[in-house]
Chain A
Amino acid sequence: MSRTSGAVAALAATGLLALSLSACGGATKSSTDKAASSAPAAVQSGSANPNAATKKGLAVAFLPKQVNNPYFNISDAGGNTALSALGESYKEVGTTSATDTAGQVSYVNTLTQQHVSAIAVSAQDPGALCTALKQAMSAGIKVVTYDSDTDPGCRQVFVSQASAEDLGRSEVDLLGKELNYTGQIAVLSAAQTATNQNAWIGYMQDELKKPQFANMKLVKIAYGNDDPQMSFQQTQGLLQQYPDLKGIISPTTVGIKAAAQYLDGSQYKGKVLLTGLGTPNDMRSYVQDGTVKAFELWDPGKLGQLAAYTAVALASGQITGAQGQAFTAGSMGSFTIGAQGVVTLGAPTVFDSSNISQYNF
């Protein structure tokens, strides 16, 4: 209901919204879309030598959007694992609030003064960190963004969790398989104006045009505004308006959780399938009791590992961040830098009853 108020804005401004999910929700927004949008790539200085030896003893600092956030705890632990395997040193610094941009800037400045080898940062704001990060780069520090990007000119490489296209298409594929490619489906999104959501939904609609989805029809896109009560009621509305509805895709962590909780306590449990983007902790009980068969998200641990490997490759001179350069990320294999200096982790991880117990975030 009337949530868009000055009071709410003021609350947000005081930095009290320390939600873990705001981290990865916001992350997806700034990553997938910013990468796709324009703005010139950073001018890359020097040339890369793909055969250069990996340097040992590099100091790599992780600067997440927020420390003590379950999502970033996992991603940074992944970074730590990769760095210790390579013989580098790891540290994590950061603000306790995900909206303390000034605090994040001063952490960048401190790291520049300490002259670390590389910084892996998840930016709270695409523009605010730019001056500080450019200073760091001119001091010879390699800058990698992960999870949430800055403007492309302010870092060397952005490690993206997943592309908008992968996320959109794979959610439709997941639901298609569960429904045997037949029946009416609906989408429960966040706000009608959310760019990341709309980009994903665009790819979903495109995927549905493929011949194998001829018997699947997207009948409605509902918007729950990432509010539990609103998402609940939008789910109820979908089921009442379309009695033959067979499946719902909710590409938002708040939406999928609310829809799952509603289905769980209603007559529709097990009759209407649900998938989308969710976190294993939120969705665990719904997967265990059969309300949800499978959902997806990227693996934050692997994201942190890839950010660490990218930082080390940059600091060792194997890459500079230009398009087309390739590097090896340990057991994860080889990655190639795409347009605008973006490296994509790959297809999202699918969580179901067989693997959900291995994840805790």
Chain B
Amino acid sequence: MTAPTTAAAGQQPQPQPPLAAGSARGLLDRVLRMRELAILVVLAVMLVATQIDNTSFLSEQGIKDLLLNATILVLVAVGEAVVVITGNVDLSVGSVLGVTAFAAGDLLKHGGNPVLSVALAVVLGAALGAFNGVLVGVGQVPSLVVTLGTLYIIRALDSIWVGSREITASLLPSGYKTFGHDGVSAVPYLALVAAVVLIAVGYFLRDYRSGRECYALGSHAQAAALAGVPVRRRVLAAFVLCGALAGLAGALYLARFSYADAGTGNGYELTVVSAVVVGGVGFTGGSGSVHGAALGALLLTSINSVLPAIGVSSVWVEAIDGILLLLAISVDRVMALRIAGLLRSRARQARTGTNG
């Protein structure tokens, strides 16, 4: 109660600081957009170069494949990005994806409604996310440890429940499988789903108060709490969203690969975290955007398509992923230092301006 009033009281005599803050935010936005633009340029150059080398790369089927390959990773990366923006991390997404994919398949196998089975996957994912969120937000335990624990717990329960059973293509209704690979000309249905989610979450983070609060608490949780941000509730919500999106991704994984077993999604969390970091979402929290994370996911999956198309051995894929990751982190670090310097010099200017 006291925190906001003191802040307001401090602001009233001088109208200068809000203005400075506004321009700082504009600067940050510009930088973020530049960061996303850079990935987009890298992606475009890579795709065009591949197309020149192999003219069938960007055929209708080729574009469809690129989008399909990225869809599932984009969905999980968007959820992960929100969690990372709040200054946390969710390592359990791979396990959640695996268990929800099987749950959806199990329902479909017994003649369940496809829409209902997708909903089941989303709800189950959200519930698992809520479990993470409660432990992290309310229990005040570091998310890295909590979600590493739930990664193993969920995978273990999944293994006990699933056992040696598997969901194979012949057990799934053909409409569900068609949904997994068909689309409107070159744009697959799955990519449309991912695009809708991306736009909605991006809009929420940019233009909603609660969305901006996610950035605030990721930048400095204590300061955000003092400023009246309901930290625990926001963290919980971020984990629920991340879980729900991992669940949705699980249902779509099933549609796309027509297969799920106890090992589905094993190790996927590392791919997701890579995509988020390559996409410019800072691991210290409070910076980056879901659009960046989605672009990072698209870039990573496209590399895996580009290399075979130009005949490069797949053993290079992992090395290239790693190099990209380090490159992304280096760029972010250099930019962070530059911005900090810029903001400092502006603040100095502002101070001297008011004094004089």
Contact = CB atoms under 8 A, between A and B. Distances in A.
A237 B304 CA distance: 9
Contacts of B262: 16-19
A1 B290 CA distance: 21
B258 interface: yes
Nearest to A193: B315
Contact of A192 (B159, B181, B315): B315
A223 B304 contact: no
A76 to B, nearest CB: 13
B263 A282 contact: no
A294 B203 CA distance: 50
B261 interface: yes
Contact of B261 (A19, A68, A238, A258): A19
Interface string B269-310: 111001000000000000000000000000011001101111
Contacts, number: 161
Contact of A233 (B267, B270, B305): B305
Contacts of B56: 240, 243
Interface in A1-26: 1-5, 7-8, 10-11, 14, 16-22
Contacts of B159: 16-18
B317 A1 contact: yes
A257 B259 contact: yes
Contacts of A222: 308, 314
Interface residues of A, number: 55
Interface string A306-340: 00000000000000000000000000000000000
A236 B308 contact: yes
Contacts of A240: 54, 56-57, 62, 308-309
B166 A281 contact: yes
A1 B181 contact: no
Contacts of B168: 281-282, 284-285
B152 interface: yes
Contact of A237 (B158, B180, B309): B309
A5 B274 CA distance: 13
A5 B267 contact: yes
A192 B172 CA distance: 32
Interface in A212-246: 220, 222-225, 228-230, 232-234, 236-238, 240-241, 243
B261 A2 contact: no
A14 B269 CA distance: 18
Interface string B45-66: 0000000001011000110010
Contacts of B91: 7
Contacts of A100: none
Contacts of A3: 266-267, 270-271
Contact of B182 (A8, A233, A265): A265
A21 B264 CA distance: 13
Interface in A71-115: 96
A138 interface: no
A22 B164 CA distance: 10
A261 B305 contact: no
Interface in A43-93: 66, 68-70
A237 B155 contact: no
B11 to A, nearest CB: 47
Given A1-B317, A5-B270, A237-B308, A70 B258 contact: no
B259 A228 contact: yes
Given A236-B308, A240-B54, A282-B169, A4 B314 contact: no
A233 B257 contact: no
A236 B309 CA distance: 8
Contacts of A225: 314
B170 A264 contact: no
Given A229-B69, A281-B170, A16 B155 contact: yes
B9 to A, nearest CB: 50
Contact of A7 (B151, B169, B318): B151
A70 B261 CA distance: 13
Interface string A174-205: 00000000000000000010000000000000
A354 interface: no
B169 A237 contact: no
Given A232-B69, A265-B181, A2 B266 contact: no
Interface string A155-167: 0000000000000
B163 interface: yes
A70 B270 contact: no
Given A240-B56, A240-B309, A18 B163 contact: yes
Given A8-B266, A236-B309, 18 more contacts: A1-B317, A1-B318, A2-B322, A7-B267, A14-B152, A17-B263, A18-B159, A223-B315, A236-B308, A237-B305, A241-B54, A261-B259, A264-B181, A266-B65, A267-B61, A282-B168, A282-B259, A284-B169
Interface of B: 54, 56-57, 61-62, 65, 69, 91, 148, 151-152, 155-156, 158-159, 162-164, 166, 168-170, 172, 177-178, 180-182, 256-259, 261-263, 266-267, 269-271, 274, 300-301, 304-305, 307-311, 313-315, 317-318, 321-322
Interface of A: 1-5, 7-8, 10-11, 14, 16-22, 66, 68-70, 96, 192, 220, 222-225, 228-230, 232-234, 236-238, 240-241, 243, 257-258, 260-261, 264-268, 281-282, 284-286, 288
